[in-house]
Amino acid sequence: MDFFKLEKHLRKTKQTFIEKQVYIGKNEKLKIRLLIELLPEQKKKERLRKNQQTAKKKGRKVGKCFKDHYGLNLFISNIDEKSIKGEELRELYKLRWQIELMFKIWKSIGEIHQIKKMKVERFECYLYAKLLWIVINWKIFWQMQIFTIQQRAIVLSAYKVFKTLKHSLYEFRQAIINGKESLSEYICGIMNINIQQFKLEKRKDKLSLQELIASY
């Protein structure tokens, strides 16, 4: 597809969004929906500026492929139109990106990807322990999030909460060993920390994961 001509056509006809049926794949062709969203001129220039800065740091030039479609947002999906409309699909993509951000937290704070050479049995124990720690932290985070939204209308940063929980890992481990009452005291102690330090720094025109979920 000639995205350069397509963008020009969208701006000329003052359309902000179109959808097409296309095929992807080199050998086996897969029929999918392609959703094309036109970026405002200001955001288009900002995207190009950031890409040029990144390319300069890495000692390369901005590729022609990027230049041809940097004024467009492109989404693909194999979900049929009867199940979900194009506009709704774009909103779901925002949630998908939130999942990507959560995986980044698991890597940067949980360090789930950092594994030394070891026997397979030890690796399994190590992996399960990491995953259990992440799931428990996630549960604690969401309970904190529900409380702060209901009581104080504050959206929390998962990254900040996970980081604090990691720093108190020894206290958390001791609380589990000492039993249910001790664990309850530990969680209450986390809740009593100044909640403002966990507050999500909201970006302009961007909804948080919690706000996106609440909007459905």
Contact 152, 195 (CB under 8 A): yes
CA distance 93 to 76: 10
Which residues neighbour 3 within 8 Å (Cβ) at sequence distance 6 or greater?
Answer: 68, 69, 72
Query: What is the mean pLDDT of the segment spanning 90-102?
Result: 76
Name the pTM for this structure.
0.58
Query: What is the mean pLDDT of the segment spanning 145-168?
Result: 83
Instruction: Give, in order, the Cα–Cα distances in Å from 78 to each of 27, 35, 72, 105, 188.
Output: 18, 11, 20, 28, 45
- In this prediction, residue 109 carries a pLDDT of 84
Contact 145, 211 (CB under 8 A): no
- In this prediction, residue 96 carries a pLDDT of 76
Which residues neighbour 175 within 8 Å (Cβ) at sequence distance 6 or greater?
Answer: 182, 183, 185, 186
All structural domains of the chain with their residue ranges: 3-78, 101-214
Contact 187, 171 (CB under 8 A): no
pLDDT in tens, 24-72: 988 888 999 999 999 988 888 888 888 888 888 888 887 777 777 888 9
Residue 126: band (very low, low, confident or very high) from pLDDT cuts 50, 70, 90: confident
